[in-house]
Amino acid sequence: MRKFITACSILFLITNCVNNNLGNRFIDSANGEWGLRVFVVGNFSGNLAGEIPVDGEGFGIGCSGSATALANCYCTNVATVFTSSKKKYYAWLSDSSTDAICNVQGLTGKNCEVQNYSNVPLISLTSPTQTVFPVISDNLQELISANFRAPLSTINDPSWTGSNNQGIGQSDNCQNWTSNNVAVNGVYGQPDIQASWSQIANGDCATNRKLICFEGPLN
């Protein structure tokens, strides 16, 4: 059975941190700030299209469509089970038709402007403690502008993105996330390193890496 990272274990414990009066926005227990949740999860080769539907944990059940759509569904299913959020989640993932900066806003296309996150902070669920869940950035625009308050994760978890740090798709994407061939490459990031959170290197598509999941926009 595929094991989740420690951060996801933390995610399991925070259901009570959601305040329904705030529309499922996550409450930072340390300082009262609210925001949209971000977490790192999964363990897949670059063949997301082939592996998510048969995910050993069952979070790919009912998922269909492109590899990016499958990743979005996977993120949503994980969040639905382990938090009280009823919102859709989106993978920070680019393919040949849609950039990550578009996908996490519930949009399709390339090079989208930030329009669906307003001034909503992004909250990390990959803290090493169970009492403090830090604010990553004041909003999505600040994230892609490299204005961090905390890294996305404090754990070494290379994650598939196919994107630069601005969420723009790169040419190496494991053939639109359908290949686990060692001779094919995909861009991955290192969420615990602010300067390289979305793009640190191109790696072979046979290696398992994680996904970065963003809670969907408020509007």
Q: What is the 3-state secondary structure (H, E, C) of the chain?
A: CCCCCHHHHHHHCCHHHEEHHHCCEEECCCCCCEEEEEEEEEEECCCHHHHHHHCCCCCCCCCCCCHHHHHHHHHHHHHHHHCCCCCCEEECCCCCCCCHHHHCCCCCCCCCCCCCCCCCCEEECCCCCCCCCCEEECCHHHHHCCCCCCCCCCCCCCEECCECCCCCECCCEHHHHCCCCCCCEEEEECCCCHHHCCCCEEEECCCCEEEEEEECCCC
- Residue-wise pLDDT tens digits, 136-166: 999 999 999 999 999 999 889 999 999 999 9
Q: How confident is the model at residue 93 (pLDDT cuts 50, 70, 90)?
A: very high
Residue 130 has pLDDT above 70, yes or no: no
Q: What burial class does residue 111 get, using C-beta atoms within 10 Å of its C-beta: 0-12 exposed, 13-18 middle, 19+ buried?
A: exposed
Ramachandran angles phi, psi of 72, nearest 5°: -60, -45
Q: Which CATH architecture has domain 6-13+24-215?
A: Roll (3.10)
Mean pLDDT of 62-80: 96
Average pLDDT for the chain: 84
Q: For the whole model, what pTM was predicted?
A: 0.85
- When mean pLDDT is compared across 8-22, 56-70, 145-159, the lowest value belongs to 8-22
Question: What pLDDT shows up at residue 113?
Answer: 94
